[in-house]
Structure formats: structure tokens, C-alpha cells
Amino acid sequence: MCDHRLWARVRARLEPRLSTAYLPIESQATREGMLALLASAAELAPLHLVAFSMGGYLALDFALEHPDRVASLVTVGSSAFGLTDAEKAERGWALELLAKHDYRGMATYRLQQFVHPSRWTDPDVVDVIRAMDRDLGKETLVAQLKETNARDSLGPRLWQLQIDVLLIGADTDPFVPWSEIEEMTRLIPHAQSVLAKDAGHMLPLEQPDWLAAQITRFHGGATD
């Protein structure tokens, strides 16, 4: 349930050192459509991908299937190991609820699960999350829950990645624990990882300066 606004402040801090473009995977109703969007973007040259959460899983999947189309990869708050049984059950319950009722937006307690407590009242974080959720709406939420529920673990295949990979995690992310980032780093031959302190799952909104600095360093640029 994110769009270009998730990355706006990060991209502003990357320019002009790095040129960026946004791929709107939220515009696609199916997983196949999301992956096709990546394929279309990679037609002219291999991509230097930066991807968040669900997008990170899709980017890893795409890189494994099309190694000649991805030049490097940065994932933020992403796991390669699929969903747990508890997560699948929660998504099933949510889909049943959405089938019977209107969607009235993300509840406060749910929003707070995604964000470090120090940012719970930060309008640059919570207002953007609420606005994206409101504007994308029920149809997008249902499509994303359905299309990304069946996530096979990519762990057994990660050794095949021969590109440079940066895996970024956050110390209070309840959805992608640091132990999973460490395991991915061990399995990917040319991977490095870095941990954001005092941050939750919504790292691009919570710490755009820090995140932009990590991406710039990864791509060989000096930072102030």
C-alpha cells in the first residue's frame, strides 16, 4: 500500500549524484503484472534496483529469474524467506473481512506496528502512510494481499545471485527481523548488510537521510 510518496524524500537526497526513476508496481493487480513492469524497465539496460518490503521480494525473484537484467540490488525491509503460517492466516482473515465490509483505512494500532515509536506523531511519516493507504484504497489492498500471499522461500536459490547486493534492515522492524537479513547476507555471495537504529519497517519515510547515504555509498559515492 505504497506509491511514489514512499521514496520522495530519499530520491530528493540522492539527486544529483544518482539519477532515479520510480516503478509503480502498485498499479498492477497481479504479481505477473508487477514482474512484467520490471521486465519492461530492463529492456534498454540492466537495472540497479532499490526495492522495499514486498517489492524487495519481487526484485529478488526477478533477479534470480533474469540475472542478465539486474546489475545490482538494494532491498529495504525485505525478506527472501516467504511468509510464515501466522502471516498467511492473518492475510486470509483480512481478505475475508474485506469481502464483507468496506475498508475504512488503516487503524492506528496497525500503523504503529510499522513505525518506530519515536515517529508515531511525525506528520512526514504517519500522514504520508495514511494518505497512500487512503488513495490506493480497498481494491489495491485486496489485490496485494491475494497476489503476494503465496511467497515461496527464495533462500535455497540465493547462492545463484552474482550481483552486488545491499540488504538494509531496521532494529525494531517486527516484520523482517535482523536475523533474516543476516541469513540472507550469508547466503548471497556478494552481499553486504547494514542495520538502521531506532527505526521501524517504514524506513524510507522514517530515516530518508540515513537511507539515501547508504544507497549512495553502495553505488560508490561519497557522502557528507
Report how far residue 4's alpha carbon sits from residue 23's, in angstroms, rounded to the nearest whole number: 8
What is the CATH classification number for the domain harbouring 119? 3.40.50.1820
pLDDT at 47: 96
Global confidence as pTM? 0.92
pLDDT at 205: 98
pLDDT at 222: 59
Query: 38 phi and psi, to 5 degrees?
Result: -65, -45
pLDDT at 223: 59
Which structural domain range is residue 46 located in?
1-224
Q: Do residues 212 and 10 touch, judged by C-beta distance below 8 A?
A: yes
Q: For residue 187, count other CB atoms closer than 10 A to its CB.
A: 17
141 CB contacts (<8 Å, ≥6 apart)? 1, 98, 103, 133
Where the chain has pLDDT below 50, the residues are none
| HSE (side-chain half, CA atoms, 13 Å) at 45 | 4
pLDDT in tens, 150-180: 778 999 999 999 999 999 999 999 999 999 9
pLDDT in tens, 68-100: 999 999 999 999 997 777 777 777 788 888 888
* Total count of domains within the chain: 1
User: Above pLDDT 70, what percent of the chain?
Assistant: 99
